[in-house]
A and B are shown apart, each in its own frame.
Chain A
Amino acid sequence: GQNIDQPTEMTATEGAIVQINCTYQTSGFNGLFWYQQHAGEAPTFLSYNVLDGLEEKGRFSSFLSRSKGYSYLLLKELQMKDSASYLCAVRDLDSGAGSYQLTFGKGTKLSVIP
């Protein structure tokens, strides 16, 4: 089975930097995803890490350490529109079906304040 842990809520100021952490335990790690989900909407893909290190994409960066079972999402120059839930998800291989399964954490609700 898998266990994914991330903070429930965070608050940060417009223009600031915020780091959302995610720790996981999994039997067959095959990649870690971050999704953004605004209230009442579908998740949208932000980043994917399968190797250790930092992946940068504009204002968003994601880091992975497989040996520590740890990832973080870094959001820079926060904007009000960044207020949303951020979901950490781990993929592992279902060897029986030959397919990947995605297991999500409960999400971190980020509130950006003026």
Chain B
Amino acid sequence: ETGVTQSPTHLIKTRGQQVTLRCSSQSGHNTVSWYQQALGQGPQFIFQYYREEENGRGNFPPRFSGLQFPNYSSELNVNALELDDSALYLCASSFGKRDYEQYFGPGTRLTVT
């Protein structure tokens, strides 16, 4: 176990709805990165938060947004859900935005119908 937790474990939403996923980072870690992993694919970088600010973003539309709180936990929000948003959403925590080792949480499996 890495000490990174995510909630919920599974989620089913309808197209057009909004969803919020949560991540608690490992103790002492101040950086959280979010990834989307479609079935049979590698994780794709969505964005990273460092000390409550977005610090790098992948090729995802603005309807993917996030927050990081003073305790370094984080949320991923997705608006106007599309069928292609169905995936495993992973968060990973690290210490510092240049730390090479990231610890992944167990993920949230999102299904959009």
Contact = CB atoms under 8 A, between A and B. Distances in A.
Interface of A: 4, 31, 33, 41-45, 48, 50, 87, 89, 91, 94, 97-107
B112 to A, nearest CB: 19
A103 to B, nearest CB: 7
B105 A100 contact: no
B: interface residue count bin: 20 to 34
Nearest to B59: A1
B44 A104 contact: yes
Contacts of B43: 43, 87, 104
Nearest to A8: B40
Given A48-B101, A91-B100, A101 B56 contact: yes
A31 B6 CA distance: 27
B55 A99 contact: yes
Contacts of B42: 4, 87, 89, 104-107
Contacts of A100: 56, 97-98, 100
B102 A102 contact: yes
B95 to A, nearest CB: 13
Nearest to B103: A45
B113 interface: no
Contact of A99 (B40, B50, B106): B50
